[in-house]
Structure 1
Amino acid sequence: MNRLNILFQNKKDALLSIYFTAGYPNLDSTLDIAEAVEKAGADFIEIGFPYSDPLADGPVIQNSSHIALQNGMNLKVLFQQLKDLRKRVSIPVLLMGYVNPVLQYGVANFCDSCAEVGIDGVIVPDLPMYEYENLYKDNFIKNNLSNIFLVTPQTSEERIRRIDELSNGFIYLLSSSSTTGKNLTVSNEADAYFSRIRDMKLKNPTMIGFGISDVKSFNKAAEYTRGAIVGSAFVKFLDTENAMERIPEFIRSIRP
């Protein structure tokens, strides 16, 4: 088991994950933010590696990716920064981004580099499940990396079952099919979607992301899953005055 598996096995309270973009707001912000987020009480971290064409992201994360790229962030720089990750951060850490930079870096090299710096899992939403299973799964298994798949309200039960078979961390439930940054919809449709997934009794735990920004949306997610992932709201917060010093305040605004 990696740190992510151990966390889900041992902690029974609702889990909080925080996403931020590597290289934003400054090129050398990555480890400082990760350390501060852990100290403030988050359960695990997702570090986004920027890409020039982030189709699934809303304007907040798109802007952070643009600035990070301007600052000089790329996978090579990120792995250099993460060499000291496990000297400063003990909670699970995942990398999240698009498949194009991973392919350019080389999937085998990417997985090896993740293992070298202590990464526990990877979220690459546009990596086709077929390609993962037939081309890359062994690289992930060799390096003890959890590959996290995404599920939307439109995902068929057959595909969800297959995702569950291939997963060894958690399954990321998108609260909607929109881009990141939209508020979690508290509606009959959302309730039916979350209930449908819960009633499937999957072997992997689930987390909800997209639209989690406050106590209400976090608690709503925790009714149906093991917890929630906060992304756009935190990235937006990082652009406010004295954000680094106020990270504990932000975490308390989500999970008091």
Structure 2
Amino acid sequence: MGRIEDTFTKLQQRNEKALIPFLMAGDPNLELTKELVLAAEENGADLLELGIPYSAPLADGPTIQQAAQRSLAHGTNLTAIFKLVEEIRQESELPLILMGYYNSIFNFGLEEFVKQCAEVGVDGVIIPDLPPEEGAELQELSTELDIILLLTSISNQTRIEKVTNLSSGFIYAVSTPGVTGAKEELSTEIEKTVTKIKQFKDIPVAVGFGISSPTHAQQIGEFADGIIVGSAIIKKLEKSLDLLEEDEEKLIAKVSDFISSLKKPLT
């Protein structure tokens, strides 16, 4: 049993739902990313996504795009991210998932990517622009790495069955078609999709895109196994960047407090 499966099993036994924050690796620098990951774990994160910065992120809204640009400005790449994960693993067993675009991984080399994931302790990967029909090679190589696939509220039954059968770790259910970004209201259609997934296979389902408040967390927690929060966390970080040089601990505390507020409705 890997860290992702083990975590969801333990949460289910405690009748809790998973909080999965997203942080862009290297935003604003890799040293702070490490501190934010450790602080997130202390404040309720059950798993965590680390973004691989990319210059043309098709699925990401402006907030995460800007985070990627800040990271790229510091020269963040996959080699540096693997070193970051290795350092985090010296202090934490938090399940870590890399989220990035296929071009970054393809250019790095699929075999080397999977090898490095195993060596440093990456538990899963999310590649939003890699359709399952084109992911056979990665699937074959990733015997120990969870390949987490996405479904949306408009996915039909055939698509749901195909993706659910190929995904491991959990299913990433996209609450609203489109790009990432915090929203005031969430679509109610995603609950129907989660129900359909559960009817086909007993696999955890975490809902992401648009979740930005404890109220949203409570709503999604009523029917899903977890929530994924990215843009709302990045916005908290972005608003506190002026503290980076004068009071880094205060910046970390602001982000941590928000993460803690998101976890409370899930327990």
TM-score range, shorter chain: over 0.9
Distance 1:117 1:184, change over 3 A: farther
* Structure 1 equivalent of residue 88 of structure 2: 85
1:11-30 equivalence runs, <5 A: 11-12=11-12, 13-30=16-33
CA distance in 2, matches of 1:177, 1:188: 12
Query: Structure 1: where are the runs of 5+ without partners?
Result: none
Deviation of the 1:196 alpha carbon: 4.2
**1:36-75 deviation digits (Å, cap 9, x = unpaired):** 1111121010000000001110110000001100111011
CA distance in 2, matches of 1:8, 1:213: 22
- TM-score, scaled relative to structure 1: 0.92
**1:197-238 deviation digits (Å, cap 9, x = unpaired):** 44x342211000001111111111111210101100111111
Deviation of the 1:190 alpha carbon: 4.5
Tell me the secondary structure at the aligned position of residue 20 of structure 2: strand
Greater shift in the superposed pair: 238-247 or 209-218: 238-247
Query: Structure 2: where are the runs of 5+ without partners?
Result: 241-249
* Structure 1 equivalent of residue 122 of structure 2: 119
Deviation of the 1:83 alpha carbon: 2.0
Greater shift in the superposed pair: 51-60 or 5-14: 5-14
* Structure 1 equivalent of residue 160 of structure 2: 160
The one-letter code of the counterpart of 1:49 is I
8 Å contact from structure 2 (residues 57, 65) kept in 1: yes
- Identity, in percent, stands at 37
Deviation of the 1:91 alpha carbon: 1.3
CA distance in 1, matches of 2:207, 2:113: 26
The one-letter code of the counterpart of 1:100 is N
Match of 1:32 among 31, 35, 43: 35
* Structure 2 equivalent of residue 254 of structure 1: 262
Aligned length: 252
Tell me the secondary structure at the aligned position of residue 169 of structure 2: coil
8 Å contact from structure 2 (residues 186, 210) kept in 1: no
Tell me the secondary structure at the aligned position of residue 19 of structure 2: strand
> RMSD in angstroms over aligned alpha carbons?
1.7
Distance 1:39 1:239, change over 3 A: same
8 Å contact from structure 1 (residues 175, 185) kept in 2: no
Greater shift in the superposed pair: 40-49 or 158-167: 158-167
* Structure 2 equivalent of residue 175 of structure 1: 175
Tell me the secondary structure at the aligned position of residue 178 of structure 1: coil
Distance 1:178 1:43, change over 3 A: same
Tell me the secondary structure at the aligned position of residue 207 of structure 1: strand
2:155 matches 1:147: no
Match of 2:138 among 136, 147, 154: 136
Distance 1:132 1:20, change over 3 A: same
Deviation of the 1:82 alpha carbon: 2.2
Distance 1:163 1:190, change over 3 A: closer
Deviation of the 1:187 alpha carbon: 5.0
2:213 matches 1:210: no
- TM-score, scaled relative to structure 2: 0.89
* Structure 1 equivalent of residue 247 of structure 2: none
